[in-house]
Structure 1
Amino acid sequence: MTDALEAMKALIEEIYSHNHLYYTMDQPSISDAEYDKLYDRLVALELASGITLPNSPTQRVGDQLLKGFDPHRHKSRLWSLDKAQNPDEIRTWYNRAAKFVDEYNDQNDEDPLPPLTFVMELKFDGLTLNLTYDQGILVQAATRGNGVVGEGILAQVKTIRSIPTEIPYRDGIIEVQGEGIMNLSVLDEYNKTAVEPLKNARNAAAGALRNLNPKVTDSRKLNAYFYQVGYTDSLKFTSHQAMVDFLRDNRFKVGPFVEMYDSIEGVIDQLENITAMRHTYDFLIDGLVIKINDTLTREAMGYTDKFPRWAIAFKFEAEEAITTLLSVSWEVGRTGKITPVAKVEPVNIAGVTVQNCTLNNYGDIERKGLKHALGSQVYIRRSNDVIPELLGKVTEEIDGEEVICPDTCPSCGSVLELKGAHLFCLNRLECRTQLIGRITLFASRDAMDIETFSGMTAEQLYNDLDVREPADLYSLTFDDLVKLERFGEKKANNLLASLEKSKQCDLASFLYALGIPNTGRSTTRQLAEHYRDLHKLMAATPEELVALNDIGGIMAESIVSFFRDPIMQRSIERLLEAGVNPTMEESLVVIDRDNPFYGKTIVLTGTLPSMGRDEMGKKLEAMGAKISGSVSKKTDIVIAGESAGSKLTKAQDLGIRIIDNEQELLELMGEA
């Protein structure tokens, strides 16, 4: 048995070495037939011995259908990127970064940041992956999700041969981020024999990675490229270049274009060249990513609420095509806003078949000369490779049928009202489409996350069980549901269980589920963090709200009007009576507003023996503090560890409070 185990271990190592050369390096060292012999020999040894080692390549594709995706909380947040669409916007980003470095160095002359250098990479158009390795073993893979929590897709990711299931780095836990893609050549080959051909490579990759059958994922022959170590509990990099070298050394496939530049003009000079080359790659890209190379500069610059300040995405210009405008329909949103949607003769733009295009409102139709365009040729553009937009007519002749602006709601027939540039249906209590839309939003994943629920479910419950608002969902019974078409006992029980589970929800998700006009996920999270209590928020005034970051007068009025509306008040009251209990999840709790760090601007400097500066910073932020990278007159406290330098000196000169005793610090934090 020992000989068989040693033979299997040797075969596994040899197979993974060939996998790395073939899938990652594109440098196959043996023929397919020779590779198949190695693989078959391993399978035979496993069958003969009855033993299958955990890291065997025969286990990449599981035999079992998965029941669903479990949520996975990332150890480090996956950030979005701010966008630039021309060289001037990149220069603006650079000027902000250069100004920051100059000001930082003026205040930290003993430990200055280096001159700015940059790295430019391809921006892949696929599905973001976040892989977790523990002691070198791949233990989890997840989608990006909302950046904080994604969905675990380990079984699916294991089917991607270019992703190593083991890496040489064994010192703790790391998270590695990249993009799952389907090569265009693979898509072409797949479609030659597919019963249902796939429309485009991006959706093909995303659909495969979110398929509950790993064999389906495996059949798509996906690929993956990696560009970031998002989390490590012990490893530090001095630069992005060092991080890329680490990825390559640990068998990850890095993009074919990763270039370093000493100046922003060198970056800008390359934009046109790479843009012209975009269609020469065997995969979809929708832009380029420009990052500051030095790690200390990144740490000092930090993040906004949404983006790292040290990186920006250059988005390719939209591609245009000519087609025929077939019709314009008017769709009713959950807020009552009426939006025109143009249907066009199907046309292919950059590998995607476009049939529907965006129109903002009737004024947009008039401005673009589309009032008499039905049946005429029109220009369309796929902006940033994502949203198709109708631009205007090809000719100026009035040669098409007229697009008629409605005066009554397409859903309920109520008279429409013009508010600003948009038409609205004000029949909130009886407009079928609005009510179904609100119920659908309430149950969605970013809201109450009611599993097994969909827009079709909301429509069915509206039609057959008189569900008119979210609170009605919690009055449903098994006998109600089981008699519905496409509802068996299992589905009925699953939905009831999901509804019961949803009652214990975090406040931010509940606020988002309510559909407050002019607010999104980030705003409702901010409101939850600040007020921590539903009823305190409901009693807020516009003056209180505008004092919060990123909340202006219009948004504040929307929030106040929403909570003062008797209809909304009654709807919320019914939800609470039904047992819905919105509370603060742990990650959102601000610990005791009376703590000495709440609302303070704090600078960390030197080495803190008990924990790293990043960990200390996160704990202080959770207590309501703002962490800054430089000392100024606005700084309230400087926490100085061992070997503190110029920041400590400047704090002393400015008379800023200094905490340089670790025991005192821990006592103030309540951790002593």
Structure 2
Amino acid sequence: MDKISRIEELIKRVTELNYHYYTLDEPIVSDSEYDELYDELVALEKETGYVKDTSPTQRVGEVLLEGFVKHNHINPLYSLDKAQTFGELNDWVVRCEKMVSNYNAINEDKLPELKYIIELKFDGLTINLTYNNGKLQMAATRGNGTVGEEILPQVKTIRSVPLEIDFKGLMEVQGEGLMPLSELDNYNKNNEIQLKNARNAAAGALRNLNPKETEKRHLTAFFYNIGYIEGKEFSSQLEMVDFIKENKFKVNKFFRIAKNLEEIEETINYIDEYRKTIDILTDGAVIKINDLKTREVLGYTNKFPRWAIAYKFAPEEVSTILKDVVWNVGRTGKVTPSAILEPVEIGDVTVQRATLNNYDDILRKKVELNSRVLIRRSNDVIPEILGVIDDGRETTPIELPTKCPYCHTDLIKDGVHIFCPNSMSCEPQLVSRLVHFASRDAMNIDGLSEKTIEKMLDILNVRQISQIYDLTADNLLKIPGFKEKKTNNLLTAIEKSKDVKLENFIYAIGIPNVGIKTSEDLAKKFKEFSNLSKATVEELTEVDDIGEITAEAIVEFFHDEEIVNGIRSLLSKGIKIENPKEKSIVSSEKFNEKRIVITGSFEKYKRKDLEKIFKEKGAKTGSSVSKNTDFVIVGTDPGSKLTKAQELGVQIIYEDDLEEFIKD
């Protein structure tokens, strides 16, 4: 009990430190002091098995999500009407004043004189969080305003989002998920695949099915509205924001009160300059009426609240000459064009490069070498080419490359994109391929991190995956940060990885569209690696969930000479592939071919372990509840799947009954 008490104490202390660091931007201890407390908490949780959902250690989950689940918001999330001129803004103010005047003329309960709250208009992804009994229960995207998508594991990676709050009633709070510009800059410095801008980076992170990838982008979030709350009322926006702050949500420090249009315009002009000095992406201002009774009277149109409006700044556009197009190979093998421009000033920035999404984009915009192009930069890291200005100059068509600019492998076209299929030795792909190769579900080489791999390429001239099996202690000791213990640990992990199960090896070599589940299915079907490498499209499509496109990609993979040579080199290093053993599955009527969905978290089990148990008993596990679902296994904080199961009359097994249910 002393250890449990210490865990509770550490959770409270680390949560407080996170609040000061991530929400208030006011750290109260050194990084080393924080790390010491956090590491102690991790160690105690591991030792005792006592892990609370609200522990700071539970922000990044281990489970790779299979897909997004729809979520019904309690109250609708309205979008805002927009103004791009002060004239349009004036029209909105006049309408508000007229409606208030008309109401006061015929009602005894007079509405107060209008006051406007002005906030920054964030350029990220709207998130809607549901709290109940003081705990974060659900997080969702805005979607169409009524139905969004569940993104709880992704939102939990945002350190400024509280997992537990003081208010114990049911509540929905809205905010904006954002990637700070400094984090975007750091990410692009350290990653081959460049993120175009902070808005897309945040939206892409929050809609990534792997929460660990979301966590790498170090998002933040600001909160500004409560869409639904049980047992509490507010009289004004100011009162609501104070309540949001009291419950330790992060609120942006920019907040202005205005009494009339003139003061609104002054504030907007100030924001236009102020936004260039801050670390978050903004593209305008939001103006709201402060009094909530007035909001209720003004109401809504079909699309927008009448009591709020967004003022958007116009993006900056200039023209310049396109001098060249270079083709870059990303770490996933995608080959994308980048425009080299005659340098031009946009605001305070000299622009020399611009985005061209793909070759179809080049053709659609009629972009050619030496053409005058119109570019736009609206807080984007890399500006975008909008189109061509015909000024009579002579231009040259841009050719679609047929070979990889790095390894000269024949490129393949998939939809509007082109790819280099040489995942084994194409240098720009090599770092991410090695990271994937070393990952837990692949070869499980502990200690072979992305930073270490980058140093290996730079210092040890590693150019093929197979070369990691040739590394010696003398090699590794040349890498900064490597001492004798770290070197021996990595060499041991590399040697241990030579004994690998077939499904893990299939996953490790990075076949397009083949994840760990498909790798397991392929291993069960073909039994040996040589059988898989010779498989036909017809044989591959016999495997569940493998369609013709994936089957053709697998066949192409094993017929590419560069890839085949890379695999041959890899196998020559002493790798022993363990073929799957036939399992005798004894299933009762209760489990045979039954469809099971697991939702929530469990004290005794990880969800992955439960899925394995049910599969071994002959059941099938899925990610969404439908009329074909036989059982829904429910843990803590189950979300919308429980509601769906109740609506459809699906049999529900709660955690208290789980042990008995698992028994045959």
How far residue 99 of structure 1 moved from its aligned partner, in angstroms, is: 0.6
How far residue 112 of structure 1 moved from its aligned partner, in angstroms, is: 1.2
Q: Partner of 2:174 in structure 1?
A: 177
Trace 1:371-386 onto structure 2 (pairs within 5 A): 375-381=370-376
How far residue 104 of structure 1 moved from its aligned partner, in angstroms, is: 0.9
1:33 aligns with 2:32: yes
How far residue 191 of structure 1 moved from its aligned partner, in angstroms, is: 2.3
How far residue 37 of structure 1 moved from its aligned partner, in angstroms, is: 0.7
> Which TM-score applies when normalising by structure 1?
0.53
How far residue 378 of structure 1 moved from its aligned partner, in angstroms, is: 3.6
User: 2:356 is aligned with what amino acid?
Assistant: Q
Equivalent pairs, count: 394
Distance in 2, matches of 1:154 and 1:145, equals 15
1:34–1:322 Cα change, 3 Å: same
Q: Partner of 1:417 in structure 2?
A: none
1:204–1:384 Cα change, 3 Å: closer
1:488–1:65 Cα change, 3 Å: farther
Distance in 2, matches of 1:181 and 1:278, equals 14
1:284 aligns with 2:274: no
1:114 aligns with 2:115: no
How far residue 488 of structure 1 moved from its aligned partner, in angstroms, is: 6.1
How far residue 384 of structure 1 moved from its aligned partner, in angstroms, is: 9.5
Whether contact under 8 Å (2:122, 2:284) holds in the other structure is yes
How far residue 379 of structure 1 moved from its aligned partner, in angstroms, is: 3.3
Q: Partner of 1:65 in structure 2?
A: 64
Q: Partner of 1:86 in structure 2?
A: 85
How far residue 16 of structure 1 moved from its aligned partner, in angstroms, is: 0.7
Deviation string 1:97-142 (CA, Å, 9 cap, x unpaired) is 111111111111x101111110011111111110000011000000
After superposition, the CA RMSD in angstroms is 3.7
User: 1:354 is aligned with what amino acid?
Assistant: T
SS state at 1:381 partner:
strand
1:261 paired residue among 238, 245, 258? 258
Whether contact under 8 Å (1:177, 1:230) holds in the other structure is yes
Deviation string 1:312-365 (CA, Å, 9 cap, x unpaired) is 1100111123333699xxxxxxxxxxxxxx9975699799943379xxxxxxx9
Distance in 1, matches of 2:69 and 2:260, equals 44
Deviation string 1:594-633 (CA, Å, 9 cap, x unpaired) is xxxxxxxxxxxxxxxxxxxxxxxxxxxxxxxxxxxxxxxx
Q: Partner of 1:226 in structure 2?
A: 223
Trace 1:38-57 onto structure 2 (pairs within 5 A): 38-57=37-56
Whether contact under 8 Å (1:119, 1:261) holds in the other structure is yes
SS state at 1:30 partner:
coil
Distance in 1, matches of 2:120 and 2:383, equals 20
Distance in 2, matches of 1:280 and 1:230, equals 31
Distance in 1, matches of 2:118 and 2:385, equals 29
Whether contact under 8 Å (1:323, 1:344) holds in the other structure is no
How far residue 217 of structure 1 moved from its aligned partner, in angstroms, is: 1.1
User: 1:71 is aligned with what amino acid?
Assistant: K
Deviation string 1:13-50 (CA, Å, 9 cap, x unpaired) is 11111110000000000001000111111112212222
User: 2:543 is aligned with what amino acid?
Assistant: E
Q: Partner of 1:355 in structure 2?
A: 356
How far residue 194 of structure 1 moved from its aligned partner, in angstroms, is: 1.8
SS state at 1:67 partner:
coil
Whether contact under 8 Å (1:317, 1:384) holds in the other structure is no
Trace 1:345-424 onto structure 2 (pairs within 5 A): 353-355=354-356, 375-381=370-376, 390=386, 393=389, 398-400=392-394
1:317 aligns with 2:296: no
1:52–1:374 Cα change, 3 Å: closer
SS state at 2:545 partner:
helix
SS state at 1:105 partner:
helix
1:384–1:304 Cα change, 3 Å: farther
How far residue 302 of structure 1 moved from its aligned partner, in angstroms, is: 0.8
1:491 paired residue among 537, 542, 545? 545
Distance in 2, matches of 1:399 and 1:28, equals 58
**Alignment identity in percent?**
49
Distance in 1, matches of 2:208 and 2:383, equals 24
Q: Partner of 2:158 in structure 1?
A: 160
Whether contact under 8 Å (1:184, 1:201) holds in the other structure is yes
Q: Partner of 2:127 in structure 1?
A: 129
1:51–1:322 Cα change, 3 Å: same
Whether contact under 8 Å (1:199, 1:353) holds in the other structure is no
How far residue 374 of structure 1 moved from its aligned partner, in angstroms, is: 7.5
Distance in 2, matches of 1:245 and 1:148, equals 27
How far residue 249 of structure 1 moved from its aligned partner, in angstroms, is: 0.7
SS state at 2:165 partner:
coil
Long gaps (5+) in structure 1: 328-341, 358-364, 404-432, 434-456, 458-481, 496-672
Whether contact under 8 Å (1:380, 1:392) holds in the other structure is no
SS state at 1:61 partner:
coil
Q: Partner of 1:190 in structure 2?
A: 187
Whether contact under 8 Å (2:65, 2:209) holds in the other structure is yes
Distance in 1, matches of 2:33 and 2:109, equals 57
Distance in 2, matches of 1:63 and 1:373, equals 47
User: 1:98 is aligned with what amino acid?
Assistant: E
How far residue 377 of structure 1 moved from its aligned partner, in angstroms, is: 2.3
1:15–1:144 Cα change, 3 Å: same
1:153–1:488 Cα change, 3 Å: farther
Whether contact under 8 Å (1:373, 1:399) holds in the other structure is no
Long gaps (5+) in structure 2: 325-336, 359-364, 398-414, 416-512, 514-535, 550-664
User: 1:234 is aligned with what amino acid?
Assistant: G
1:188–1:388 Cα change, 3 Å: closer
SS state at 2:393 partner:
coil
Q: Partner of 2:583 in structure 1?
A: none
